[in-house]
Structure 1
Amino acid sequence: MPHLDFTQPPFDVLSLAERQSIRKNTQIRFLAKDESLPVAELQYLYVVIKGQIEQSLDGDFVASYLGSNHSNDLNNNDWFDSRRLPEASPKNSLQQGDENSTNPKAIQTYQFRATEDTLLLQVAGSTVDKISAQNHLVRQLLSDKLPERLKALRQRRSGKVIDPSHYNTQQEVQQIMLQPVIEVKLLPVHIVDANASLYEAAGIMTKAGLKHVLIQPHSVENDVALPQRTGRLLGILTDTDICRAVSDQQDPATTPCQRYANFNLRTIGANDEIGDALLTMTRYRIHRLPVIDHDGNVAGVLGQSDLLAHISHHSQLISMQIEQAKDLTSLDTAVELIGRYIRAQHQNGVKIGNVSRMVQTLNAQVFTKLWQLIVPEAVMKNTCLIVMGSEGRGEQIMRTDQDNALIIRDGYTHPDLAQFADTFNHHLADLGYPLCDGNIMMTNPMWRQPLKQFNAQIGVWFKNTDPMHGIYLSAILDGEYVCGDESLLTQVRQHLKVAHRQSDPMFVRQFARAALQFGDVNQWWQKFMPLLGGKSSSQDIDLKKAGIFPLVHGIRTLALEYDILTVPSTKDRLKALVQAHVINQERADTLLEALEFFMAQRLSVALSTDDKHARQVDPMTLTALERDLLKECLAVVKSFKTQLRQHYQLEIS
């Protein structure tokens, strides 16, 4: 009798007693060709020993599960939980409160049919449930929640989560990055009146053992201190500011704090993730972040040294290397460190979203430093450099084609702007960021314009008279600030909202069509089925077309429809869509996890092959767990595209 392979998931995390229990409650099940599992037998976990099972839903193909006779790895048998219900479209409709969501008739079940004589191992569902209740690793692997199963995959990619006793250690970094900021030891709050002298502020710093104080501004009209209910009204004064005042030969006893305080203060919410705080500090090169509680009050100040001590993260070292770069050669060294950082984080099982957003921050620092090395200060002050596409969304891992633009202040000119742009783009190419094949770069005059002309161009794109207009608009919707005058990008985003409201009401409907243009994801999975007898890279699944683009563009379209134009990342767009009650939190989490699975899969391909674009994956090279999750994520894409068709009343193509 065949036995379960306890070296493969989901059985590799079982204790000895749990393995014995599984053995006692497992039996052989044979299905002849074209025979289906009856409804009464949809209460087991099945492992395909030999043969092939086809899964369908109301006659539509969903996936296939293969035995060792079809696998490159003889020990890599597919498995499936027949009790798992399909993702019901009523439950996950775009709008919350769908009246059909509680309709019992809406519950569907999968059908399982043998496409050839097939041998299965049938594990009692009650036994699996009992073990799952005691073993959180098994529970995670077999969860009907996609985010939980994807978390299990990330643990395995670290190559360390085999022994259940080591679980907490392997997830420590990940969990720390997701902890709320309030978990870190905060510095106490000391607020000084804006009219107090630098001498008084210095005395408070010395007594408290701090290198800063917060500054309470005054109302100009009434000369009274403003209420401190919102920390965003406060400023900050540091010991460096006091040293600057002394070097300016100012008398500390008579010089008011407000003259040297910084009122352009960055803050962080008490419940925001530690990873977000690190990103903010790294991006803006600041050392202190006032922490704002849910009432808007300052709960404390997050210091950089305390944060670093809490997480022991090394991205700050790369940031310092970039900041200290004096030429292209030293900048190239820092860029190479980013590549090593990506590989290390991926191998450690860190969530791909955390890695990509940190890479976005580090890349932005590279772009900023390069621009500073090229242009005079006047150009920096009168222009705004932005990145677009996946780099703008913070969803880029590998160094792929550049997408950037330069917004110029109206009335400002410089005879060498075109040369500066050309130097910038080609130096970036030398650093390993390839030139854009579509010429969406600031070497192209269309992407290097004064603000007024930029906005006029956007108005033309909303008329959608050219097939490229949707592509250009998608690019600018994903635009993110890098350096220069950020207010220029803010004004472009404001104009996007105005131009959208002035456009044809049917524009968004047409804009959404692009998310559907690559066809049914099931077709992609069926394409690989003929490969079981041999390999052909031409039939690989294109992860970008089949998974990433439909999710990104569909969510981008919903964000445009609901005027969510200040945040370019898919994660932040989903968060805003939830707040606007367009989708529910569970659906948003599932869509984001599916997107990040595709991103992580592309990264795995890029790191393990010579395919640095990493758009395609051969399903036969994946483990059984990865294949299962790929099928599930493709199913999420399919249901999302169905919802877009229904929401925008688009015909099924």
Structure 2
Amino acid sequence: MSTLDIKQFIQKTHPFEILSADELKYLLDSIDIQYFKQNEIIATKNSTPKYFYIIAKGVVEQKDEESVYYSVHDSFDITSIFQNSFKNDFLAFEESICYLIPIDIFYMLLNQNISFKSFFLDDISTKINALIHKNANKELSNFMLAKVSESYIHPLVIIDKDSSIYDGVQKMTQNSTSFIIVDFQNSYGIVTDSDLRKKVILQNKSYQDKISSIATKELITIDKNDFLFNALLLMTQKNLKRLIVTKDNSIFGIIEQADILSAFSNKSHLINIQIQKAKTVSDIQKASCDIINLVKSLHVKGVKVRYITKLLSEINSKIYQKIYEIIAPKELLENSCFIILGSEGRHEQILKSDQDNGIILKDGFVFDKLSEVTNSITEALLLCGFPKCEGNIMVNNPFWTKSLSEYKNSVHDWFNSNSSEDLMNLAILFDAKCVAGDSKLLDSLKEYMFNQINDNLTLLSNFAKATIIFETPLSFFSNFILNKKSDELDLKKGAIFPIVHGIRSLALEKKIIATNTIERVKELNNLGVFDREFASNLIDGFNFLLTIRLENMLKKHDLGLKLDSGINPKNLSKLEKDTLIDVFKMVDKFKKLIIHHFKLSMIS
């Protein structure tokens, strides 16, 4: 790594950007670089600090009763330096590279630069406020504008499929890389350090075997012109540390997790690591405590709410999955599908919502301790911050934990019912997403639902009529209609639900598999259900509603109030009020479209 690379990295690490040119040069002349293998000890408890550490690559774990994780651009440990003794062990959670600043150089910088010194000595609240102020004044989150091509892309190291494992390792060593691409002529695969450990060393495989025998052929790719945020989202979804970068549909290079995190310093990846590492429900609970701060951080940086909801939904899905894997015995895991419903299933949850979930069991499978397991799952989710569902749509309710055939029987009954409760159950299930177990069970159920439709207009009309059940809280003279007791209007009932359910009704009619409202709008637009302009207005309006709802819920969270969709227009700016009025008018227009499309005026 060149001196210029180190300089650019250090200048991007707060608060080192405030050092003068001479101070920075003095630092660069003294800095050292050290590589640490996974699980290698970096510093031991009670030892005397010799360096101040800055992480250039990887993740470092601070061992304690509750482990703390540091990633790229993080530093450690200022408290130990001031006390001249490490209070904890520090080890490389994964392969890591650190910059080492000698203690005497670090103290010299503290003494010469008051602002630099203040950052480390100021109280915590002052530091947080300063960072929030710094982030809030950014024109827009730099990360949201950054493309994959703007990050460092590792060059490909390629080897022929018929080469030996030994040749592959030798080539990896020569190129100082932890992975190698295997050329299958018409396709490619990848071999990583992890593959060598699991498939060669632990299985006592011969180094002379073909490297193709241990390659993973299903490569997960991202285009070089895609956004870094999408790369982070994909890594979170797939539990990956690297992605193959493509250019013009051909493999181009590799981007690693550390490269993304150097551009995006939120802790979403660390939360994900903690969840994946969790062995008990208590471990998951500790990881989930950081989610509200993650949402705040992303929002302050200007990240659009639809991206926040996507990332949050993926993290919540990981929590659900891990809880199920910890609590459910292997026999149940192999014969069931754990599903999340409602806003979680649609990837539209802003903060942790009520528990909306269920289990689909394979036909003929019987598990004697099912109620004991489902009660444990419900209590575990409650412990991790997911309140119990007031409507009792939870796995510990036998109505939502039953066999595939029983679910199909329920769907058949719901489709032939005029009951608003039955039709809402159908809507809830239509948004289902599998988070653990056998996803084919949910696929079979969704297919059955689509087969039940058969262009039955009466059935679809009954399903769609809930779209207009709530009045839009806007008077004839464009004044907001508020609840007299709370002086608030309900965003969910007044605007969010009509859009969600109206689009859901159209998606059911057109047999659209996607569950996310915006994705459904896009597919409906492609099918010509409405034009591009109206689709764009729906998406923009829906995003605006989610944005002001998030801001309002964060304020209520800070005040210790109930997190609901009630909002007082007095707390909105004039521009926000005017926009909300326009969105409400758009919702009324959408309702008229639904009334006309499903001929709701002809049904009681």
TM-score by length of 1: 0.66
Give the corresponding residue for 2:243: 289
Q: CA contact under 8 A between 2:474 and 2:480: conserved in structure 1?
A: no
**Pair 1:562 & 2:510 matched:** yes
Pairwise CA distance, 1:461: 2.5
**Structure 2 unaligned residues grouped into runs of 5+:** 1-131
**Pair 1:540 & 2:488 matched:** yes
Give the corresponding residue for 1:474: 427
Give the corresponding residue for 1:266: 220
Q: 2 CA distance for matches of 1:564 and 1:293? A: 30
Pairwise CA distance, 1:395: 1.1
Pairwise CA distance, 1:471: 1.1
Distance verdict in 2 for CA 1:650–1:264, change over 3 Å: same
Q: CA contact under 8 A between 1:463 and 1:504: conserved in structure 2?
A: no
Q: Which amino acid aligns with 1:406?
A: I
Pairwise CA distance, 1:338: 0.4
Q: 1 CA distance for matches of 2:533 and 2:189? A: 38
**Pair 1:639 & 2:589 matched:** yes
TM-score by length of 2: 0.71
**Pair 1:576 & 2:519 matched:** no
Give the corresponding residue for 1:253: 208
Mapping for residues 167-186 of structure 1, pairs under 5 Å? 169-173=138-142, 176-177=143-144, 179-186=146-153
Q: Per-residue CA shift, 1:596-623, capped at 9, x if unaligned?
A: 2222222222222344332211222322
Q: CA contact under 8 A between 1:521 and 1:638: conserved in structure 2?
A: no
The secondary structure found in structure 2 opposite 1:559 is helix
Give the corresponding residue for 1:600: 547
Mapping for residues 238-249 of structure 1, pairs under 5 Å? 238-244=192-198, 245-249=200-204
Distance verdict in 2 for CA 1:433–1:246, change over 3 Å: same
Distance verdict in 2 for CA 1:463–1:292, change over 3 Å: farther
- Identity %, equivalent residues: 30
Q: 2 CA distance for matches of 1:194 and 1:499? A: 48
Distance verdict in 2 for CA 1:621–1:172, change over 3 Å: closer
Pairwise CA distance, 1:432: 2.2
The more displaced of 602-611 and 242-251 is 602-611
The secondary structure found in structure 1 opposite 2:396 is coil
Q: 1 CA distance for matches of 2:161 and 2:401? A: 41
Q: CA contact under 8 A between 2:553 and 2:564: conserved in structure 1?
A: yes
Give the corresponding residue for 1:200: 167
Q: Which amino acid aligns with 1:184?
A: S
Q: Per-residue CA shift, 1:206-243, capped at 9, x if unaligned?
A: 344332234456xxxxxxx5x33xxxxx4432121112
Mapping for residues 42-441 of structure 1, pairs under 5 Å? 169-173=138-142, 176-177=143-144, 179-190=146-157, 192=159, 194-215=161-182, 227-228=186-187, 234-244=188-198, 245-254=200-209, 256-293=210-247, 296-441=249-394
With a CA cutoff of 8 Å and minimum separation of 6, indicate the structure with the bigger relative contact order: 1
Q: CA contact under 8 A between 2:135 and 2:301: conserved in structure 1?
A: no
Give the corresponding residue for 2:469: 517
Q: CA contact under 8 A between 1:161 and 1:170: conserved in structure 2?
A: no
The secondary structure found in structure 1 opposite 2:501 is helix
Q: CA contact under 8 A between 1:178 and 1:273: conserved in structure 2?
A: yes
Give the corresponding residue for 1:73: none
Q: Per-residue CA shift, 1:144-177, capped at 9, x if unaligned?
A: xxxxxxxxxxxxxx88899xxx6xx33033xx33
The secondary structure found in structure 2 opposite 1:469 is helix
The more displaced of 541-550 and 635-644 is 635-644
Pairwise CA distance, 1:360: 0.8
Pairwise CA distance, 1:251: 0.3
Give the corresponding residue for 1:33: none
The more displaced of 380-389 and 192-201 is 192-201
**Structure 1 unaligned residues grouped into runs of 5+:** 1-157, 218-224, 229-233
Q: Which amino acid aligns with 2:546?
A: M
Pairwise CA distance, 1:319: 1.5
Q: Per-residue CA shift, 1:406-434, capped at 9, x if unaligned?
A: 12233433322221111101221232211
Pairwise CA distance, 1:347: 3.1
Q: 2 CA distance for matches of 1:510 and 1:285? A: 41
Q: Which amino acid aligns with 2:564?
A: A
Q: 2 CA distance for matches of 1:191 and 1:495? A: 46
The more displaced of 624-633 and 379-388 is 379-388
Q: 2 CA distance for matches of 1:265 and 1:418? A: 40
Distance verdict in 2 for CA 1:290–1:401, change over 3 Å: same
> Which of 533, 549, 552 is equivalent to 2:497?
549
Q: Which amino acid aligns with 2:282?
A: T
The secondary structure found in structure 1 opposite 2:528 is coil
